[in-house]
Amino acid sequence: MVEFIIQSLEKMIITQKQLISLSERKKMALIQRDMSELNVIVGEEARLVNLFGELENQRLEQAEQLLQAHPSLTFGQLAHAVPDESGGKKLRSRIDTLKELMVELQEKNKVNELLLKDSLNFVQHMIDQVAYSGQRHFNYQSPLSPQKTQAGSRAFFDTKA
């Protein structure tokens, strides 16, 4: 039974490494503002997150079966109680590796979140520049003709066609 849990953890580790790799690709796509690549990455991430959830459910089922023999223990306590010759050392190693990978992914996601916020701020700034620029005249106007104050005070998107 412990070997099945170890196999589930190993599959989770592989999936987590793939998520970390996608996170790096996402960072580059955000920096380059490559929306088509970002869409592809988000789709792949969704697939991997679903797979990770399925693997976690399998691990939970296997752990519950193992814990039925020891109902007073938590999974962490049980992992430390499993003898090394029965795979305890390997089990604890996989758990530690998975924890480290999760921390690494969280850190990368924080960086990507900051990049995304920066991109959104840039887009909002550009919209503000276009939408609220009362000083700019987008049509030709002779410098000798009188200034139209009413049309000049309108924003670009407020004008009539």
Identify whether 57 is part of a domain.
Answer: yes
- Residue 24 in any domain: the answer is yes
Q: DSSP letter at 148? A: -
CATH number at 41 reads 1.20.58.300
Total H helices, total E strands in the chain = 5, 0
pLDDT of residue 73: 80
Dihedral pair phi/psi, residue 99, rounded to 5°: -65, -45
DSSP-derived secondary structure letter, 147? P
- Whether residue 146 is contained in a domain is answered as no
Q: Would you say residue 161 lies in a domain?
A: no
> Taking 70 as the threshold, does the pLDDT of residue 157 lie above it?
no
**Which percentage of the chain shows pLDDT scores above 70?**
83
Question: What is the residue range of 8's domain?
Answer: 2-133
Distance separating alpha carbons of residues 63 and 1, to the nearest angstrom? 8
Contacts of residue 112, Cβ cutoff 8 Å, sequence gap at least 6: 23, 26, 27, 30
Domain total in the chain: 1
Q: Is residue 95 a part of any domain in this protein?
A: yes
Give me the percent of the chain exceeding a pLDDT of 90: 48
Does 85 map to a domain? yes
In this predicted model, what pLDDT tens digit does every residue of 69-100 receive, in sequence order?
A: 877 888 888 788 888 777 889 999 999 999 99
Tens digit of each residue's pLDDT (9 = 90 or more) over 90-146 = 999 999 999 999 999 999 999 999 999 988 888 888 888 887 765 555 566 666 766
In a domain, 114, yes or no: yes
